[in-house]
Amino acid sequence: MANIKFVNVKKSYGNHVIINNLNLEIHSGERLVLLGPSGCGKSTILRMIAGLEEVTDGDLYMRNERVNDIPPGKRNVGMVFQNYALYPHMTVKENITYALKVKKVPKHEIEKRLDATAEFLQLKQYYDRKPSELSGGQRQRVALARSTVKNSDYFLLDEPLSNLDAQLRISAREALMDIHHEYKQTMVYVTHDQIEAMTFGTRIALLNKGELQMLDTPENVYHRPANIFTATFIGNPPTNILENVHYTNGLLTIGKQSLQLSDDWKNYVEKSTYHQIVLGIRPEHIHLTKSPQAGSIRAKVKHSENQGSNFAIHLDVEGENIIAIEAFNIFKAGEEVFVNITMDEIHLFDKATENNLGYPENIIRKKKVASGTDEHLLEVLQ
């Protein structure tokens, strides 16, 4: 049972509070990704699990035991750092086996584990090389092997792929998935890269300024963001947020124009408690046309950005900036166009709390059917 549980955990350096009141349970054997902008406290959380940082207040449990005062060496944790932290004067073989020798693991057992791991990560031919004689990807595999041979219950990874190029990242991610499949450790993976989080995590813990914003599967984080921060952090371009909308009787009014809500949404909003509604729409859920369609609203094209496989069209809707994604760049700056929104895909938030109001039953059901696979998510996030 290699679970991890933070209960009311606080971390501060002097008067500077980094983590305010963290409550987070990581299941045994899952791949949990800690995601969030730079400085939000991801590495600090990982380092508290490793025992490299003390918990200022609250309780941290591993295997259901309180570990606040247990030193790092006794937590049965393997860790991979962004810079790999290999010993430059040691060979690959020595780097991989060093920790086992220090722990006085019997020689035949060390050889057995080394062989299995090196075979698995294709490192045997590099045994006698020093880290300086390896490529970035090979060094990264040595760092993974060094943690893997420890057979630890927990595998902690701090931006382990950020020094690799795009191609190597994919193969390194596959190697990590294979390691997890084979050894089934509890993996906690820190990144600020949403694509990495989506592809690697069985669940994502999204953080901002030391506070947990959402803890859920990649699908739910994308399709049902808990709040405005989550909606705008996940997705590229981010979710459009329209703050100046007013709800009355099934209509969302933006300036002089209105969007008609479906009966499901109307009933749902009228049963909800909120102060003022904020509308969220992902750029991929907007379709532009040159002539008006049923339910469309007018907008003016500001400019467009070539994103490779598609175009991000920046628009002005009644003084609000929104972005739509289109396959073809047939819209010119200054041109009037019509915005067609897939109304089942909208998100409504409360301006005061910034929390999501939730979704009508029918729409949740439809979303489940339509939400699809990781590949779909990746396509829209790239």
Ligand X SMILES: Nc1ncnc2c1ncn2[C@@H]1O[C@H](COP(=O)(O)OP(=O)(O)OP(=O)(O)O)[C@@H](O)[C@H]1O
Where along the sequence are the contacts to ligand X (CB under 6 A)? 13, 16, 18, 36, 38-44, 192
Of residues 131 and 210, the one with the C-beta less far from ligand X: 210
Minimum distance between the CB of residue 16 and ligand X, rounded to whole angstroms? 6
Minimum distance between the CB of residue 19 and ligand X, rounded to whole angstroms? 8
Give the Cα separation of 128 and 144 in Å (integer).
17
Q: What share of the chain is helix, strand, coil (3-state, %, to 5)?
A: 35, 30, 35
Minimum distance between the CB of residue 67 and ligand X, rounded to whole angstroms? 19
Three-state secondary-structure class, residue 196: helix
Of residues 39 and 372, the one with the C-beta less far from ligand X: 39
Give the Cα separation of 3 and 154 in Å (integer).
9
Minimum distance between the CB of residue 361 and ligand X, rounded to whole angstroms? 37
Of residues 158 and 284, the one with the C-beta less far from ligand X: 158
CB atoms near residue 70 (< 10 Å): 14
Of residues 31 and 47, the one with the C-beta less far from ligand X: 47
Of residues 117 and 213, the one with the C-beta less far from ligand X: 213
Minimum distance between the CB of residue 162 and ligand X, rounded to whole angstroms? 9
Of residues 36 and 235, the one with the C-beta less far from ligand X: 36
Minimum distance between the CB of residue 161 and ligand X, rounded to whole angstroms? 13
If you write DSSP's letter for every residue of 197-266 in order, what string do you get? HHHH-SEEEEEETTEEEEEE-HHHHHHS-SBHHHHHHSSSSPPEEE-SEEEETTEEEETTEEEEPPHHHH
If you write DSSP's letter for every residue of 137-170 in order, what string do you get? HHHHHHHHHHHHTTT-SEEEEESTTTTS-HHHHH
Angle at 361 between CA 251 and CA 364, to 5 degrees: 95
Minimum distance between the CB of residue 37 and ligand X, rounded to whole angstroms? 7
Three-state secondary-structure class, residue 238: coil
Structure tokens at 132: 């300086």
Of residues 160 and 280, the one with the C-beta less far from ligand X: 160
Minimum distance between the CB of residue 248 and ligand X, rounded to whole angstroms? 42
What region, left, alpha or beta, does residue 322 occupy, with left being phi > 0 and alpha being psi -120 to 50 degrees? beta
Of residues 11 and 282, the one with the C-beta less far from ligand X: 11
Of residues 36 and 131, the one with the C-beta less far from ligand X: 36
Give the Cα separation of 302 and 290 in Å (integer).
15
Q: What is the DSSP code (8-state) at residue 88?
A: T
CB atoms near residue 93 (< 10 Å): 18
Nearest to 237 by CA among 347, 380, 34: 380
Three-state secondary-structure class, residue 300: strand
Is the Cβ–Cβ distance between 377 and 196 less than 8 Å? no
CB atoms near residue 83 (< 10 Å): 12
Q: What is the DSSP code (8-state) at residue 355?
A: B
Minimum distance between the CB of residue 48 and ligand X, rounded to whole angstroms? 10
